[in-house]
Amino acid sequence: MKVMVIGPRGKMGKLITQVAAGREDMELSAAVGPKGGEYIGKDLGTVAMVGRDLGIPVTDNLEDVIDSCDVIIDFSTKEMAMQVLDAAIAHKKALVCGTTGFSQEEMQRFCDAATEIPMLYAANTSKLVNIMNKLLEIVTETLKDEIDIEILEMHDQWKKDAPSGTSKEMGEIMAHALGKELKDIAVYGREGASPRETGTIGYHSLRAGNIPSSHTVYFGGMGERLEITHHSYNWECFARGACDCAAYLADKGPGFYTIKDVLNL
């Protein structure tokens, strides 16, 4: 499988490149950076700190290299991701997207693309996070209105969107387990006189230092509390998961796939 990486200097793009370069089932064919980026033209191995040259110059022209790949892995920005999506559709290339912060209308474009290409969207590609999502679904379906649900998520100071895409996905899973839509029951932070409304899901976002990723869901009952937490020590687990997602698309036709399909959850 020939793989193209978008944003190879980014924290995720760099690690995805390193992981893909070490896999026997993958061949890096191209990498695309932002227009006019200072590393454009440099070898991908140098840009992503692989430890050796890969013989692949990083370009800022997606159209020049897109036909060299079988699948695109994109963890860049939401602005760049929309351009990549359009190009993937036009050239009928499989796409793994892990970028977050999209509006509902933008997410619908990814869903619509699945009629033409193998499309895998994953807000979080960690195996353990997605197993945690399964646990959240089980707890919520079992207890329903007996518990109050609060989500605390922590990320580094550079993360642009809040709440995180991962915590939104967690909230959607639990809202659906309650037979509701997250947009109707989500509460974002509290200030002053704001008593808790039964059946809501509370969100609290922390941004500090270089915290990689941390999500805790609190299930509050009377006289007891259940906490389910995931901490990532670095971003390597997400990069490995992203490459697993790309490998999963190797023999797939057009369709909308998720990390649940990859992990058979």
Q: Of 127-131, 194-198, 238-242, where does mean pLDDT reach its minimum? A: 194-198
Q: What's residue 8's pLDDT? A: 96
Catalytic residue at 215?
no
| CA distance linking residue 230 with residue 212, whole number of Å | 11
List pLDDT tens digits, range 55-70.
Answer: 999 999 999 999 999 9
Query: Per the residue annotation, which of 159, 176, 180, 252 is the catalytic one?
Result: 159
Q: DSSP label at 178?
A: T
If you average pLDDT over residues 170-193, what whole number do you get? 95
Active site residue 159: yes
Multiple choice CATH, 127-232, 3.30.379.10, 3.10.20.30, 3.30.360.10, 3.30.60.50: 3.30.360.10
Reference 158, options 48, 58, 77, 232; nearest CA is 77
Instruction: Provide CATH 3.30.360.10 ranges for the chain.
Output: 127-232
Catalytic residue among 93, 155, 215, 230: 155
The two three-digit tokens of residue 143, written as one number: 């207890």
CATH, range 2-125+236-263: 3.40.50.720
Residues of the chain within CATH 3.40.50.720 domain(s) are 2-125+236-263
pLDDT value of position 21: 96
- Token reading at 29: 């064919």
pLDDT of residue 23: 96
